[in-house]
Structure 1
């Protein structure tokens, strides 16, 4: 699965390919209550809330892993035009979506 190339560009240099379809990976995560209290205290004094930054990095990695698996399941060789979208759900949950276009390399 790690062999699936994921690119934010529209074209992969030196490759001709056909479009298979859209692929995505989605995750929703939250921190535990103790960490939410710590984040609330940090919000008073300002600065980076490192637990939430870590959570977002983890969510991004999970979303890309799921995007890759979706591409493998479709028989793709790569994903082009990959993008992220994120948003909050409630006060302490965050969702991250990775999406793009699955492609199959042409062999001549």
Structure 2
């Protein structure tokens, strides 16, 4: 498996800047739109669960589950970006993830942050 399967971040959709920082160097926030989020819940794959059970006995990374979580996080970010775009933002500041179990049927991933409109670059 390549590292691309376990990575994250923006995927060529450059109209909305997503950062984990509270500000963007060289840019000023002109308008705060407010909190936005992207949410997804994924059920567990039976094959991954069986593999995870075996790995838990012998040790090692649960690659199937790692890949599923990376894909789930990416989907949550894409939904976050869609929300920002629909509300007229051009950036999301202080983006974070929250991951939790959803009633023992899957994993809930929420990407959230503050939608803003940035001013032109300074300088």
On whether the aligned pair clears a TM of 0.5, the verdict is: yes
Asked if structure 2 preserves the Cα contact closer than 8 Å seen for 1:30 and 1:55, the reply is no
Q: CA deviation at 1:35?
A: 2.5
Structure 2: runs of 5+ lacking an equivalent: 1-11
Runs of 4+ in 1 over 2 A off after TM superposition: 89-92
SS of the aligned residue for 1:20 comes to strand
2:44 counterpart residue number: 31
Cα RMSD for the two superposed structures = 1.6
1:96 aligns to 2:96 (yes or no): no
Q: Aligned residue for 1:10?
A: 22
SS in 1 for 2:55: helix
2:33 aligned residue: 20
* TM-score, length of structure 2 as denominator length: 0.80
Distance 1:30 1:44 in 2: 23
| 1:92 shift after superposition | 5.2
Aligned to 2:87: 74
Q: Which runs of 5+ in 1 are unaligned?
A: none
Residue-by-residue CA offset, 1:50-80 (whole Å, 9 max, x unaligned): 0000001001100100000000010001000
